[in-house]
Amino acid sequence: MNIINTLLHRVEAFREKNLKRFQNQYLIFFVVATSQLLDSSNITAVVTTLSQIQEKYDATYPTASWALSAYALCYSSFIMITGRLGDIVGHHIIYTTGLFLLAIFLLVTAVAENLYVLIVFRALQGIAAAMTIPSSYAIVGHTFTGKALNMALAGITAVTTMGASFGFLVGGAFYSTSVGYRGVFFLFAGLAFLASFLSLLCVKHTPTSPAKLSNLDHYGVAVMLGGALLLVTGLTEGGNRWKSPKAYVPIIVGVLMIALFLLWEKRLYRQFAWSRNSDLLIPGELWRIPNFIPLIMIMGLNFGSMFTQALANVEIYQYVSHHSAIISALQAFPNPITIFFCTFIVGAVFGKIPPKYCIFVGTALNVVSGVLLSRQGADTHSYWRFGFMGLVVLGIGVALTLVNTLNSLMVSCPLSLQGLLSGAALTSAQLFVAASSAAMSSIVGDVTIGDSVEEQHKLLKKYRNVYYLSVGLAGAAFVVNFFVKNVSVTSPENNSHIVESGTETNEFAPANSKTETANQETKCTKTNGTDDSIHEQELEIKRDAYLNKIA
């Protein structure tokens, strides 16, 4: 361990001395956005090419589907843990290492000649991708301030949601070529190598929390990881056969273990002398973030609703309307395009309207989009009448909900915990995606192309029930939003971080009187021109202290 630490310190000193000219905000954002695009598209690209993998290895569909499930399983289970590791070790280290490992695992998967080797390295890809996601948000939090932070968070949210559709397009394009699914992994490996090299050049050193790896709550980590793995495994198996013990036993045990983990983190750890001074996976500061629990739930429900609608759209265009994979992806493209542009607009005005009201509108629009999309038929006319409009409405709703939930959480969180916070939020999102995916598989069953009008109607009826599921998820998010405190954001550009000395600038604290509001506005006016520079100076001081320490 000492050898590794020494090597890391020397690399860091070299970077700070010789590569500082590359540490440009725009280049950092480009690298982070590339990794976000890569991680989300790595899931959906395999959805499109899964039949090729099944045919190549002469495997059954449940066996071949583990090429998709293995990635999703490890990806969702390790996000929160790697976020906490980034807070302790340094997000720049976790992020660059994760990208480099992802590139290697993608390359091995591209040349693999055995299905089980492919599945194992897909699982390793999931772990590597989990190292990059929470660190991406933390790096953005350390790089940008004020309104630029809101825009940057909105930007990577836009790229993440667009990545799903990008994956469908890439998978559909390679599906029609002789190289097939291997081309997807070769392309993604190249992008990952490029991003890892650029991150080594430009991503700045990120300050770490006082917690230590040796003092980390290893019991809580083990229980949480085991619970998440079992829960996602059960949900994946449940998509095919809910009555099988392979489905319901892991789900029951997984839920109990996650409940035990939450109880341990909140109360039980205090009951034992050996754990009383441990650095918890979820520190107390995280629980005290305004609206932490309801916003985490809303984010998960929103992701579940969005995923079911998006996947149902692509499958309808393929199996009911008989379009190719790439044409089906293009038909669904109005949704990610709308999300992409709307997230920047919503990010620019974030804080002008209380996030609670924006989330109400966003979740209501997600309900409307589910109803519109459920009216689609097999003909082109119904696509332009219901499908296109439903996709646009869904994009607006998702942008309003995601930006306001994620930004509300991130700007209220200390910089030292932003990796863990984003990891917790995205863990919730991935668990709901896994659950909704399993429910969708149960509703639709084995999908075959509808050759006759009767078969098309049967498929449409099944997919209509999938859209009703998405409506239920969006409606649940709407209800949960009632538990979000009705607070306003007075000046987001001046409250984009919490000073690590302990003095908090909480932009969500409501003004108790007109006088207090006036005082806040006066204070904001005085500090408007200096907050960004002060924050940059703080980071520079921390970096200099770090380098002096290791010199």
Dump pLDDT digits (tens) for 45-78: 888 888 788 888 888 777 787 888 788 888 888 8
In terms of Cβ atoms closer than 10 Å to its own Cβ (0-12, 13-18, 19+), residue 500 is: middle
Same domain, 464 and 512: no
Residues 73-101: what's their mean pLDDT?
A: 87
Closest CA to 23 of 126, 143, 131: 143
- Quote the domain boundaries for residue 188: 1-216
- What is residue 359's predicted lDDT score, i.e. its pLDDT? 95
Does residue 241 belong to any structural domain of this protein?
no
Predicted pLDDT of residue 525 = 41
For residue 279, list its beta bridge partners. 216
Domain of residue 2, CATH code: 1.20.1250.20
In the structure, what pLDDT confidence band is assigned to residue 544 with cuts at 50, 70 and 90? low
Considering the domain architecture, whether residues 182 and 69 belong to the same structural domain is answered as yes
Question: Are residues 365 and 496 part of one domain?
Answer: no
Domain tally, the chain: 3
Per cent of the chain over pLDDT 90 is 24
Neighbours of 229 (CB within 10 A): 18
Tell me 449's DSSP state. -
Question: Both 316 and 448 in a single domain?
Answer: yes
So what's the pLDDT on residue 102? 95
The residues, ordered by sequence, that sit 6+ positions from 436 with a Cβ below 8 Å of its Cβ are: 304, 305, 307, 308, 469, 470, 473
Per-residue pLDDT for 179 more than 50?
yes
Q: How far apart are CA 222 and CA 224, in angstroms?
A: 6
Query: Which of 200, 224, 198, 236 has its CA nearest to residue 122?
Result: 236
Q: What is d(CA 528, CA 525) in angstroms, rounded to the nearest whole number?
A: 5
The answer to whether 494 and 529 are in contact (CB under 8 A) is: no
- The proportion of the chain whose per-residue pLDDT surpasses 70, expressed as a percent, equals 81
Secondary structure letter of residue 216 according to DSSP: B
- Whether 262 maps to a domain, the answer reads no
Does residue 469 sit in the same domain as residue 534? no
